[in-house]
């Protein structure tokens, strides 16, 4: 009963936060990525880059001269996305590689595949995600949202960190962009019971996964900066966007979502991608990391995201859960 009550409170909290964010979107001019210059063939990976916000991010990175790898599960969906991008920009350099974030083995294979190309890596956009699905466990035994939104990206980032470190130079840092959400404010993360909850609350699980993204992003940026590496790590909230993430939203609320989209209360995926592109490419942010952005502006995330002890606890637990070896740690 207590767990049900907590989840009910989380649902209310998430929707109140969403309403507040929608009101803010209505009365705040939409900001576009500023200070973006041609990237001259620099390399980027965008997870979930074949649809929604990820597709628009991929498209804009290509437009700005990047060679982009879409990391996603569906080759058919990726090929369709590539075709649409090249229809508008025949010179776009974009290709696909397989990644299933619900499989840590797939994450390892994806990182290995990219490394076999012997390329630098200038930008990693951890964009893919799922929102409030029915309870599912991954092949690794984790709740789906925790692994797809957080743990899979955590492992992918660590496995590619050596390339990012090698690529980043003074005055031209490599960049990691982690897509989180304002819903992180509603978290109830319990470090003592991170995985084996007896009750599945899909809203709290979603909020916790987005909270974990910010905690580990801040910790990773600190580790990189302490070592003098030229790699920055930032988080973004894309806004309340009319995207495929709402696929699992309750059927009774779907008409309201469609009305909000028609009235342009919700952001379009193209608008939602602007902050990711800004953080990935803008010269205004050169060397700046450990920040949280919304509508292309740095903001404060929830106070608990700055808890150093919690950051360290989550980091150490994530290393253990993802079975990261000492060899795979860039700082050992």
Which single residue is written with the structure tokens 């790590």?
A: 233
Annotated active-site residue 200? The verdict is no
Bridge partners of 124, per DSSP, are: 45, 176
Q: What are phi and psi of 184, to 5 degrees?
A: -60, -25
Helix (H/G/I), strand (E/B), else coil: 228: coil
CA 53 – CA 132 distance, rounded (Å): 17
End-to-end C-alpha distance for the chain, whole angstroms: 45
Measured over the CA atoms of residue 231, residue 55, residue 274 and residue 300, the dihedral's sign is negative
DSSP state of 151: I
Helix (H/G/I), strand (E/B), else coil: 124: strand
Q: Please, where are the H alpha helices in the chain?
A: 2-27, 52-63, 75-88, 104-116, 144-145, 152-167, 202-226, 254-262, 269-281, 308-321
Query: Exposed, middle or buried: residue 236 (CB in 10 Å: 0-12, 13-18, 19+)?
Result: buried
DSSP state of 150: I
Q: Which two tokens stand for residue 159?
A: 């496995």
Bridge partners of 70, per DSSP, are: 46, 96
| Candidate list 98, 200, 203, 206, residue with the active-site label | 206
Q: What are phi and psi of 310, to 5 degrees?
A: -65, -40
Residues tagged active-site: 206
């Amino acid at each position: 009963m207590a767990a049900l009550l907590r989840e009910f409170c989380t649902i209310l909290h998430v929707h109140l936060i969403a309403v507040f964010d929608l009101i803010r979107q209505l009365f705040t001019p939409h900001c576009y990525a500023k200070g973006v210059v041609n990237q001259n063939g620099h390399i980027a990976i965008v997870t979930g880059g074949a649809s929604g916000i990820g597709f628009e991010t991929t498209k804009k990175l290509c437009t700005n001269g990047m060679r982009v790898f879409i990391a996603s599960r569906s080759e058919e969906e990726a090929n369709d996305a590539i075709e649409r991008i090249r229809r508008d920009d025949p010179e776009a350099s974009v290709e696909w590689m397989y990644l299933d974030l619900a499989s840590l083995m797939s994450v390892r294979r994806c990182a290995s595949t990219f490394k076999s190309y012997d390329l630098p890596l200038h930008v990693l956009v951890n964009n893919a995600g799922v929102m409030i699905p029915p309870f599912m466990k991954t092949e690794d035994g984790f709740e789906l949202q925790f692994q797809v939104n957080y743990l899979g990206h955590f492992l992918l980032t660590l496995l590619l960190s050596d390339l990012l470190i090698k690529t980043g130079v003074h005055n031209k840092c490599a960049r990691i962009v982690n897509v989180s959400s304002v819903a992180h404010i509603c978290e109830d993360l319990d470090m003592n019971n991170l995985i084996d909850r007896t009750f599945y609350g899909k809203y709290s699980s979603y909020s916790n996964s987005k909270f974990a993204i910010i905690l580990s992003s801040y910790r990773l940026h600190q580790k990189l900066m302490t070592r003098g590496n030229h790699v920055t790590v930032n988080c973004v909230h894309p806004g309340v966007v009319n995207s495929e993430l709402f696929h699992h939203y309750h059927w009774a609320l779907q008409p309201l979502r469609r009305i909000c989209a028609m009235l342009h209360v919700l952001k379009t995926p193209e608008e939602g991608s602007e902050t990711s592109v800004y953080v990935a490419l803008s010269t205004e942010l050169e060397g700046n990391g450990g920040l949280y952005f919304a509508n292309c502006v740095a903001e404060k995330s929830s106070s608990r995201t700055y808890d150093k002890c919690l950051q360290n606890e989550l980091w150490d637990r994530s290393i253990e859960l993802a079975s990261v070896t000492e060899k795979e740690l860039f700082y050992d």
